[in-house]
Structure 1
Amino acid sequence: VIASGICGSDNHILDGSIPLHLPAILGHEGAGIVESIGEGVSTVKPGDKVILSALPQCRECDSCLHEKGNCCLKEDMFSPVGLMLDGTSRFTCRGRKVYNIFGTSTFTEYTVMHEFSVVKADDDAPLENVCILACGFPTGYGAAVNAAQVTPGSTCVVFGLGGVGSAVVLGCKAAGASRIIGIDINEGKFEKAKAFGVTDCLNPRNFKKPIQQVIMDMTGFGADFTFEATGTIETMIAALESCNMSYGVCVIIGVPPAKSQLSFDPLLLLSGRVLRGSLLGEYKTRDCIPVLVDDYMKKKIDVDSVITHKLPFVEINKGFELLRSGKWCSMIELS
Structure 2
Amino acid sequence: MATNGYSNGGSTKGKPIKCKAAVAWGPGEPLVMQEVEVAPPARMEVRVKVLFTSICHTDLSFWRGENERQRRFPRIFGHEAAGVVESVGEGVEDLAPGDHVVPIFNGECGTCAYCHSSATNLCGTYRVDAFKSTMVSDNGTRFSVVNTSGDTVPVYHFLNTSTFAEYTVLDAACAVKINPAAPLEKMCLLSCGISTGVGAAWNTANVSKGSTVAIFGLGAVGLAVGEGARIRGASRIIGVDINPEKFAKGKEMGITDFINSKACGKPVHEVIRELTDGGVDYSFECSGNVDVLREAFVSTHDGWGLTVVLGIHPTPRMMPLHPMELFDGRRITGCTFGDFKGKSQLPLLVDQCMQGEVKINFDGFITHEMPFSEINEAFRLLEEGKSLRCVLRL
TM-score of the pair, normalised by structure 2: 0.82
Structure 2 distance, partners of 1:285, 1:20, is 27
Q: Distance in 1 between matches of 2:215 and 2:130?
A: 28
* Matching residue of 2:359: 301
* Pair 1:32 & 2:83 matched: yes
Q: Decide whether the 8 Å contact of 2:81 with 2:191 is kept in 1.
A: yes
Tell me how far 1:267 sits from its aligned partner.
Answer: 2.6
Match 1:312 to one of 368, 371, 385: 371
| Counterpart residue number, 1:131 | 188
Residue 145 (structure 2) aligns with: 93
- Give the distance between the partners of 1:296 and 1:334, measured in 2 at CA: 22
Distance 1:54 1:78 in 2: 8
Asked if residue 7 in structure 1 is aligned to residue 65 in structure 2, the reply is no
| Consecutive unaligned residues in structure 2, runs of 5 or more | 1-49, 147-151
Deviating more after overlay: 61-70 vs 155-164: 61-70
Deviates more, 1:268-277 or 1:297-306: 297-306
Farther off after superposition, 49-58 or 205-214: 205-214
Picking from 65, 74, 79, the partner of 1:16 is: 65
CA–CA distance in 2 between the matches of 1:140 and 1:123?
24
**Aligned partners of 2:317 and 2:189: how far apart in 1?**
27
The one-letter code matched in structure 2 to 1:4 is: T
* Residue in 2 that maps onto 1:147: 204
1:61-72 aligned at under 5 Å gives the runs 61-72=112-123
CA distance in 1, matches of 2:128, 2:209: 34
Indicate conservation of the 8 Å contact 1:129/1:304, yes or no.
yes
Does structure 1 retain, via aligned residues, the 8 Å contact 2:126–2:173?
no
- Which digits, 9 at most, give the CA deviation of each residue in 1:7-49, with x for residues without a partner? 1100010222241421110001111111111111111111111
Check if 1:234 corresponds to 2:283: no
Query: Percent identity among equivalent residues?
Result: 40
Q: Give the length in aligned residue pairs.
A: 334
Structure 2 SS opposite 1:191: helix
Task: Write the distance in 1 (CA, Å) between the matches of 2:130 and 2:97.
Answer: 31
Greater displacement, 261-270 / 198-207: 261-270
Distance (whole Å) between structure 1 residues aligned to residue 124 and residue 53 of structure 2: 25
- 1:144-166 residue CA offsets vs partner (Å, 9 max, x unmatched): 01100111111100011111111
- Residue by residue over 1:175-197, the C-alpha shift from the partner in whole angstroms, topping out at 9 and shown as x without a partner, is 11000100111111111111211
Instruction: Answer yes or no: is the 8 Å Cα contact 2:291–2:320 preserved in 1.
Output: no
Following superposition of structure 1 onto structure 2, how do residues 113-262 of structure 1 map, counting pairs within 5 Å? 113-262=170-319
- Higher strand proportion (structure 1 or 2): 2
Residue 333 (str. 1) matches residue 391 (str. 2): yes
Q: CA deviation at 1:77?
A: 3.4
Residue 80 of structure 1, aligned match among 124, 131, 137 = 131
Secondary structure, aligned partner of 2:266: coil
Q: In the alignment, which residue of structure 2 is the partner of 1:45?
A: 96
User: For the Cα contact (< 8 Å) 1:75–1:102, is it kept in 2?
Assistant: no
Distance 2:261 2:290 in 1: 15
Q: Is the 8 A contact 2:86 2:98 kept in 1?
A: yes
Q: Report deviation, 1:258.
A: 4.5
| Contact 1:152-1:177 at 8 Å conserved across structures | yes
Is 1:283 the counterpart of 2:332 in the alignment? no
Q: Is the contact between residue 228 and residue 251 of structure 1 (CA under 8 Å) also seen in structure 2?
A: yes
Separation (CA, whole Å) in 2 of partners of 1:260 and 1:8: 20
Cα deviation digits, residues 238-294 of structure 1 (max 9, x gap): 100100111101100111114332121223211111101111110000011111211
Structure 1 unaligned spans of 5+: none
State the shift of 1:327 in Å. Answer: 2.1
Structure 2 SS opposite 1:36: strand
Contact 1:159 1:182 in 2 (8 A): yes
1:271 equivalent among 308, 320, 328? 328
Higher helix share: 1
CA distance in 1 between partners of 2:135 and 2:370 (Å): 30
Distance 1:280 1:68, change over 3 A: same
Bigger relative contact order (CA 8 A; separation at least 6): 1
